[in-house]
Amino acid sequence: MKNTRAWMRAVLFLLLLAAPTRADDQPPPSEPPRDQAPKQSLKAINKALTDPVSEAWSIALQQNFFRISPGLGQEEHWNSQLLFQGAFPVALTPEWDLITRPSIEFFDSQPHPEPEDPAHIERTTAFGDIILLQLFAPRRELSSNWIFGVGPTWIFPSGSSRWTTTGKWQVGPAAAFGYLSDKWILAALFQNWTSFGGSGPFATNSMNLLPLAVYFFPNGWSVGYAGNILANWKASATNVYTVPIGLQVGKVSILGPIPLKLVLAAEWMPVHPAIGQVWNVQLTIQALRPKLLRGYLNDPSTLKLRWEE
């Protein structure tokens, strides 16, 4: 029931934020023949929502159903996790963007051993940590089809339970690199965090690598790789990596005035720690939304809020 209520609130939150998108806020597709225009526009939206350094604003809800091994010879248990994710690029100059990508864990239902009886598994559902990624990236006029971005990434210890947070303030480098063609994207988004403070009992040093290998079909369909490669550099040699093999299927549709993308993915982790993820089923709802701020930060006279003429 907790998960259901959280999902209902989150979906309402997503729909409220996804205000009607104006025509001049759409990603600029090439001018197609008249009979192919709807399919081409859906494909362009799909590409804009997949590109990690796109100029499009978007918001998303991502539900993960992890099957995890709790260790100690215990059977596998479900770990449900709901994330809010956003992408909010702002133009610094006509050639460069600052892209802010928050990821907020609305809830994390975490199975774990009871402190008094480690042989028995109990469950805690609580708010998780917040990740804030910032990328400085050249705009498409400068980079052409190449994808490039660098910047810092942060983790804030906002989790409301010891089982859903490291309790550490963390920071580190982030980078995106790849290529976006007319029909596919091949790229990677890298983040690494090292703790520098906080009340958590252990220092942290971890990595998240998101490979992006997606093929775009007409009419808003896409298929590609799914999964995040994880590394805990503080763990023992046999428990460092989580490496998934996964497949995702995506579809962009227009719901009233709102372009929405639904992505269903399944992942299997053949390499994982003794206590870690084994399987995952993932559902993502992503909405293209209008830019709140237009213009260039280096020229304040060009700045306009979305509702300004």
Residue 245 near residue 267, CB atoms below 8 Å? yes
Residue 129 near residue 159, CB atoms below 8 Å? yes
Residue indicated by tokens 């350094």: 53
What's residue 113's pLDDT? 76
Q: Which residues contact 68 (CB under 8 A, 6 or more apart)?
A: 76, 77, 78, 79, 111, 275, 276, 277, 278
**Dihedral of alpha carbons 143, 291, 14, 219, sign:** negative
Please report whether residue 26 resides in a domain. Answer: yes
Please report whether residue 211 resides in a domain. Answer: yes
pLDDT score of 35 more than 50: no
Please report whether residue 307 resides in a domain. Answer: no
Q: How many domains does one find in the chain?
A: 1
pLDDT score of 269 more than 60: yes
Residue 234 near residue 221, CB atoms below 8 Å? no
Q: Which parts of the chain are beta strand (E)?
A: 57-69, 77-91, 96-113, 121-126, 130-138, 146-156, 168-180, 184-198, 205-216, 221-225, 229-232, 241-255, 258-271, 276-289, 293-296, 299-305
| Domain CATH code at residue 32 | 2.40.160.40
pLDDT score of 5 more than 90: no
What's residue 24's pLDDT? 43
Please report whether residue 254 resides in a domain. Answer: yes
- Which of 200, 175, 177 has its CA nearest to residue 187? 177
Centre a 10 Å sphere on the Cβ of residue 5 and count the other Cβ atoms it contains: 10
pLDDT score of 291 more than 60: yes
Check residue 73 and report its DSSP letter.
T
Domain of 241? 2-294
- Which of 265, 261, 286 has its CA nearest to residue 43? 261
pTM of the entire structure?
A: 0.86
**Which pLDDT tens digit goes with each residue over 100-158?**
999 999 989 988 777 777 677 788 899 999 999 999 999 988 999 999 999 999 999 99
Please report whether residue 183 resides in a domain. Answer: yes
Please report whether residue 240 resides in a domain. Answer: yes
Per-residue confidence at 186, pLDDT binned at 50, 70, 90? very high
Q: What is the mean pLDDT of residues 162-178?
A: 96
Please report whether residue 299 resides in a domain. Answer: no
Check residue 150 and report its DSSP letter.
E
Please report, rounded to a whole number, the percentage of residues in the chain having pLDDT higher than 70: 85
Please report whether residue 305 resides in a domain. Answer: no
Tokens of 177: 């690199």
Centre a 10 Å sphere on the Cβ of residue 11 and count the other Cβ atoms it contains: 12
**Which pLDDT tens digit goes with each residue over 47-96?**
999 999 999 999 999 999 999 987 666 788 899 999 999 999 999 999 99
